[in-house]
Structure 1
């Protein structure tokens, strides 16, 4: 058979195009993050919490007027639709660019968490499980980047209220569609500026505690308003412990966050007098003076849990992201699935 050379070229181009297209389709095919293992399905909703604060070091003119609460909670409703993307496109694109993930990779990741699913039946303001306030890392990723852990907790009955502070995150989006784009910490935020950012986080948590009864009333939800724990990653972990001086908080867990403010005082004023767990990477005790001094002054129950082979980037959903697109600069040597299991098991056990 004689084939026209031009035809052969066309066929070759079509074949190459087909292979490239197939590879692209495989690349962007939606992949769901690890599903929660508890007896409940998981719902999620968002609310803007209005609070005027005129000492915000990150906001224009140092004035912020609201922060974002993202609520993960148990529900009896089975998912009625296929898994949906769990990250805002704005935040997915940011980390694809910042950490050299393939374009579209993070945007394609999905979750079986259901937006605005019905709450469990029960008395408003009451639940056999405590409520947990959660704070994400300083400079990101925001609350949604911690969905694997937060949805796991919710599937076992807990309600988790994550707090995102505007301009402290690369991107957040309020329920009315308003988007707030922050500035990357690694390009401009100095250590001297971290303390006021930390203080703003603690103030947000305090405002949330004050407004929680009304928020629960508005949601008409069986969310515990009297038994509350605090949890956070990195700067959010520091703020979780810093919020424990409020009598409404009964226990706190700091995931890999150095201490700031009163908690770093290295004297008796840092004593929170309540159960605390420090959960972090293996070099904290040798390289972080605040982790060495804080326990010396605690009169409540206290424990360390350090995980070999980890870095700070293994304590949120990135530990799963790098399983799909390995990058030696984005985490430690710990097996990602092992890390997910360790995190889920010990955080649940603590609370």
Structure 2
């Protein structure tokens, strides 16, 4: 790997090169038998496949938050990966966004203004069981990335981002951390909600929520060992050869977890955090506020507009100053973009699901909805977020340092960069 100084220059050059970025508008498509909406078209060269959910049981750990305190810890992985090349300018049509159970949950979550059937008609760009296809390096598998969802946020609310990065030629293991999510659906039909112990905690970090970070950190290490031991496959394709060199990204607590995990294992060579805050105060640990810990590896820290910081973060010991301290402690290549007019949940599927569904019921101008995703153009937000991640991982995981990769950089007027040096 090139020196940190060289790689930092490449990263900064990539993210600040000036070009005109077109405004992205919502689009709808029709299929036989009805009308449906979908995520923004994939920006990569591949369509995307995915595995069914894979349940991994860690018999060395009891599940801290399970209602059954004798139960071993379980996590779920769903692996997304490149499949056939995109058919020209056409979209890659995938599976329905939601199972009936999840559709009912998200309809209720949004106040019942949008029916569950809408979310079952909404389409993703990934197809379960599609064959793995990758032509960039003959005979080699794509690089492996891990993804972790936010605290209490269902992993399913992160599909648009995961699919788009996978379309650039990546295998992505989307981790689900049961009991630390409002909705986790197991293959056998079991549904697990947010653990009562966690749901009862006040805003901020208590000893209980700090424990949730430790549980997640152990989940990451267990996922890596399971992949290394051949327990995670795409069809019959073993992924064990990829487990010693991976990237990691995530949203909110899942983004914070990427740095936490990098401090625990050198197998994660590059990390990204989407608006995950670090914490101070009596309950903070080296996991919840690693301000003095240096992972010495490439890291990108994308932040929402700090003027739109949610109240639960503003008044609970999390904030920009802690994050800046944590980033300043990093001596590896790093960059911290801030996306104006975005909020904490602008990084999730809520921005994309809202486009057609909430036009009449709950628009961007509605105060309640604005608190979730703010006023940033949803499709533009997705474009910025997806492009930054594909560039970052192309540079760090595929080592594309040549001019062509750098020239893919775009400058967006709504993106500024924090001084973290």
TM range (shorter): 0.7 to 0.9
Question: Is 1:274 matched with 2:285?
Answer: no
Aligned length: 318
1:203 Cα deviation after fit: 0.6
Equivalent of 2:109, from 65, 77, 98? 98
Task: Give per-residue Cα distances to partners, 1:306-328, cap 9 Å, x unaligned.
Answer: 10001111001111122221233
1:166 and 2:174 equivalent?
A: no
User: Could you tell me how far 1:162 is from its partner in structure 2?
Assistant: 0.9
User: What secondary structure does 1:146 align onto?
Assistant: helix
Aligned 8 A contact 1:56 1:62 in 2: no
Matched, 1:73 2:81: yes
Inter-CA distance 62–241: structure 2 relative to 1 (3 Å threshold): farther
What corresponds to 1:241 in structure 2? 259
**Displacement of 1:116 after TM fit?**
1.3
Instruction: Give secondary structure in 2 for the equivalent of 1:149.
Output: helix
1:251 to 266, 270, 274: 270
CA–CA distance in structure 1, aligned partners of residues 125 and 79 of structure 2: 15
Kept in 1: contact 2:80–2:173 (CA 8 A): yes
Q: Kindly indicate whether residue 100 of structure 2 is the aligned counterpart of residue 89 of structure 1.
A: yes
Pair 162,185 (structure 1): closer, same or farther in 2 beyond 3 Å? farther
Between 1 and 2, higher relative CO (CA 8 Å, sep ≥ 6) is seen in 2
Distance in 2 (CA, whole Å) between partners of 1:303 and 1:32 is: 31
Stretches of structure 1 that go unaligned for 5 or more consecutive residues are 1-27
Cα 1:30/1:233, change in 2 over 3 Å: same
Tell me how far 1:84 sits from its aligned partner: 3.0
Is residue 107 of structure 1 aligned with residue 131 of structure 2?
Answer: no
Q: Deviations over 1:245-304 (max 9, x none)?
A: 201110100111112642554653x11111111111121899433212102221111210
Matched, 1:346 2:388: yes
Corresponding position: 1:211 with 2:226: yes
Change in Cα spacing, 1:147 to 1:185, as seen in structure 2 (3 Å) is: farther
Whole-Å Cα distance in 2 between the matches of residues 343 and 134 of structure 1?
14
Distance 1:220 1:121 in 2: 15
Where structure 2 has 5 or more consecutive residues not aligned to the other structure, the ranges are 1-33, 280-284, 364-368, 394-421
Contact 1:120 1:222 in 2 (8 A): no
| Structure 1 stretches of 4+ moved >4 Å | 183-187, 216-219, 263-267
Q: Distance in 1 between matches of 2:254 and 2:175?
A: 9
> What is the TM-score normalised by the length of structure 2?
0.69
Does 2:134 match 1:136? no
Structure 2 CA distance for partners of 1:238 and 1:86, relative to 1, 3 Å: same
Following superposition, the deviation at residue 29 of structure 1 comes to 4.5
- Per mean C-alpha deviation after superposition, the further-off stretch among 321-330 and 198-207 is 321-330
1:164-190: per-residue Cα shift (whole Å, max 9, x none)? 111111222223333323348995233
Paired with 1:262 and 1:321, the residues of 2 have a C-alpha distance of: 36
> Aligned-pair distance for 1:243?
0.6
- The verdict on how the C-alpha distance between 1:177 and 1:264 changes in structure 2, with shifts beyond 3 A counting, is closer
| Correspondence for 2:190 among 178, 185, 194 | 178
Which structure has more helix as a fraction of its residues? Answer: 1
Give the Cα separation in 2 of the matches to 1:218 and 1:343. Answer: 26
- Which of 54, 75, 82 in structure 1 is aligned with 2:62? 54
Contact 1:51 1:65 (C-alpha < 8 Å) held by counterparts: yes
Q: In structure 1, the residue corresponding to 2:188 is in which secondary structure? A: coil
Is residue 180–residue 198 contact of structure 2 (8 Å, CA) maintained in 1?
A: no
CA distance in 2, matches of 1:98, 1:252: 30
Distance 1:162 1:194, change over 3 A: same
